[in-house]
Structures are given as structure tokens and as C-alpha cells.
Amino acid sequence: MTVPTLTLNDGHEIPQLGFGVFLVEPADTERIVLDALEIGYRHIDTAAIYRNEEGVGRAIAASGIPRDELFITTKLWNADQGTESAHTAIDVSLDKLGLEQVDLYLIHWPTPKRDLYVESWKALEQIKAAGKTKSIGVSNFLVEHLERVQAASDTIPAVNQIELHPYHQRLAETSYGHDHGIVTEAWGPLGQGKYPLFELPEITAAAAAHDRTPAQVVLRWHIQQRRVIFPKSNNRQRIAENFDLFDFELTPEEQTAITGLERGGRVGGDPNEVN
Ligand code: NAD
């Protein structure tokens, strides 16, 4: 099964489907990431704050998969924003991952009250220039944060990783991304299981029509909108189910019905309030 890629605004390719490791216990991470790599995932999304970069690194090493076939993302934690602390933080992350370079390094949250994200963005530009990451981007940025970064820098973020699922579709951020060449990565693509998405008729009808699970329908809906996703599961069967998205296609009517489910249902923090 070949996962499609999207081209980032710096020319690098990103696999549209990856595996996320938020809330994967450090002690379980190596085994679970190895499961994902065996199933065929080549894109892993971690973060310093997940405390499982070592496990991701051990899985990468144990897998024997050539480094250039993998796409690894990690993130600068809020407490490490600022020039010097960002430079230290990427070195710590690379050391834990056992890598010389990640594919994508993100500012995890803007934390606007601390007002360090523009300075941190400039540090990420330097980190990229030093070859420690191929691409740089942001996460949980609202349009006002993206605009400030763009006004202060020549580098447009390659991605904005934001909470996005059928109940919370982020039209302002995705439109801005579309207009400025910023790929949208949807975190919580399944709504973190906090909403009854899998029981909604718009989703169960499409699942029945394509002989797929409701989770596969929701993930496919993201893929057809050209977003990057990395659903998380600890369960090997579900990890395989979430990878199996590329031999069916939702109809335009099915896509529209799912898009119609928007109801402002955020599951995570408000990016202006997470400080
Ligand atoms: P998700 O929407 O992927 O939901 C995960 C939950 O869905 C799990 O608890 C699992 O039990 C359930 N699930 C997974 N596959 C299923 C299936 N096939 N059928 C039924 N249930 C299934 O939420 P997430 O883990 O928060 O998001 C995915 C990734 O996004 C994370 O692992 C992380 O890498 C990233 N993330 C980033 C941020 C950020 O601030 N940048 C925040 C949260 C998550």
C-alpha cells in the first residue's frame, strides 16, 4: 500500500498518513511504533512533551528501515520557547531520537501570553539552516499568529498542525493555509474518541456503502481533503485498520454530508489560552 505524499512549500514531500504517539506510554512506545512500521507506516509524529522520543528512536533503529524512507516530526515544547532554549531543545530531541536530523520541527503551541513564538520561529529558521531539520512549521496557530510570523520572517511555515475533525473543521486556519501554501495537519482526526462520531448516520451510511469501519470513513474524509493525518491507537488491529485507506473513495455526496457535521466541538485547548 503506497501512502500518497503532499509537497510542502519548501519542496520536501510529506506522507499524508502517519502514526501519532500522543499518550503512548514511554515503556510501550518502541513496541507500538514497531507495530506501525511493520504495518507500513513511514511517518511518525511525536513531541518532546510526549516523553516518548527515546522509544520512537529505539523503534526506528530496530526497524532497520533506511532513514531516508522515514518522515519523523517532533515539536518544541512551550517551556522551551526562546532562542537559546529552542537550540538546546532540538539537540535534546535529536539525542533522544538517535537522529542527526528530523524531517519536521514544529512550535507546539503559540502560547501568545508569553509572546515568544516569533523569536522561537526565528530560532527554528536557524535550526533548519544548521541541517537539524528539513522543514519547519507550527502547531495550534490561529490566523493572527500565522500573520505575525509571516510579517516577521521570510519563511512561511510548511505546516500548521491543528485540532481538526468533523465536529471542528477550522475553516479560518485551513483557508489561510490554502491561500499561503501551508499544509494543514489534522490532530485528533477522530476527535480523540470524545464524540459519538462513529454512530452518526452520515458516517455509518458511508461505512456500510464501502464495507469499511466508521473510523476509516472519517480518516478517508481527511485524506480526500488533502490534509495530513496521524491517527493514534495502541491496538495493532486498529493501527492496521487506520492504514488501510487507499483502496476506496468517498463520493462527493458522502464528503459533503460529513463536512456538514461541523458544530464547533473542540476537544483540546483554546490556542489563545494554552500558555
Ligand atoms: P485521535 O483522533 O487520533 O484519536 C485517538 C483515539 O481514537 C484513541 O484513543 C483510540 O482509542 C481511538 N481510535 C483510534 N483508531 C480507532 C479505530 N480505528 N476505531 C475506533 N477507535 C479508534 O487523537 P490524537 O491521538 O489526539 O491525535 C492523533 C495525533 O495527533 C497524536 O497522537 C499526536 O501525534 C497528534 N496530536 C497533536 C497535538 C498538538 O497539540 N499538536 C495534540 C493532540 C494530538
The 10s digit of each residue's pLDDT in 155-181 is: 999 999 999 999 999 999 999 999 999
Q: State the CB neighbour count (10 A cutoff) for residue 213.
A: 17
CA 27 to chain centroid, in Å, comes to: 22
Check whether 1 has a pLDDT greater than 80.
no
Span 176-195, pLDDT tens digits: 999 999 999 999 999 998 89
Spatial distance between the Cα atoms of 19 and 32, rounded to a whole number of angstroms: 10
Supply 37's cell numbers: 512500521
Q: How many CA atoms lie within 13 A of 228 on its CB side?
A: 28
CATH of 12-195+218-248, one of 3.20.20.100, 3.20.20.150, 3.40.50.720, 3.20.20.80: 3.20.20.100
Say what the pLDDT of residue 187 is. Answer: 98
The DSSP 8-state label assigned to residue 17 in this structure reads: B
Query: Residue 22: is it exposed, middle or buried by C-beta count within 10 angstroms (0-12/13-18/19+)?
Result: middle
Comparing C-alpha atoms, which of 216, 245, 230 is closest to residue 44? 230
> Mean pLDDT for the chain?
97
Spatial distance between the Cα atoms of 50 and 33, rounded to a whole number of angstroms: 14
Residue identifier of the C-alpha nearest atom 29 of ligand 1: 20
Say what the pLDDT of residue 210 is. Answer: 98
Q: Is the CB of 160 under 6 A from ligand 1?
A: no
Catalytic (active-site) positions: 50
Spatial distance between the Cα atoms of 190 and 202, rounded to a whole number of angstroms: 15
Q: Is the CB of 269 under 6 A from ligand 1?
A: no
Q: Is the CB of 166 under 6 A from ligand 1?
A: no
Residue identifier of the C-alpha nearest atom 25 of ligand 1: 232
Comparing C-alpha atoms, which of 11, 22, 4 is closest to residue 234? 22
Supply 26's cell numbers: 514511554
Say what the pLDDT of residue 160 is. Answer: 98
Span 2-12, pLDDT tens digits: 899 999 999 99
pLDDT band at 136 (very low <50, low <70, confident <90, very high): very high
Q: State the CB neighbour count (10 A cutoff) for residue 264.
A: 7
Query: What is the 151 CA–ligand 1 centroid distance (Å)?
Result: 33
Check whether 228 has a pLDDT greater than 80.
yes
The answer for residues whose C-beta is within 8 angstroms of residue 178's C-beta and 6 or more apart is none
Sign of CA dihedral 206, 208, 212, 213: positive
Comparing C-alpha atoms, which of 102, 147, 110 is closest to residue 127? 102
Say what the pLDDT of residue 24 is. Answer: 95
Spatial distance between the Cα atoms of 96 and 248, rounded to a whole number of angstroms: 38
Instruction: Map out the domains of the chain as residue ranges.
Output: 12-195+218-248
Q: Please say whether the beta carbons of 218 and 203 come within 8 A.
A: yes
Check whether 25 has a pLDDT greater than 80.
yes
Supply 96's cell numbers: 533522544
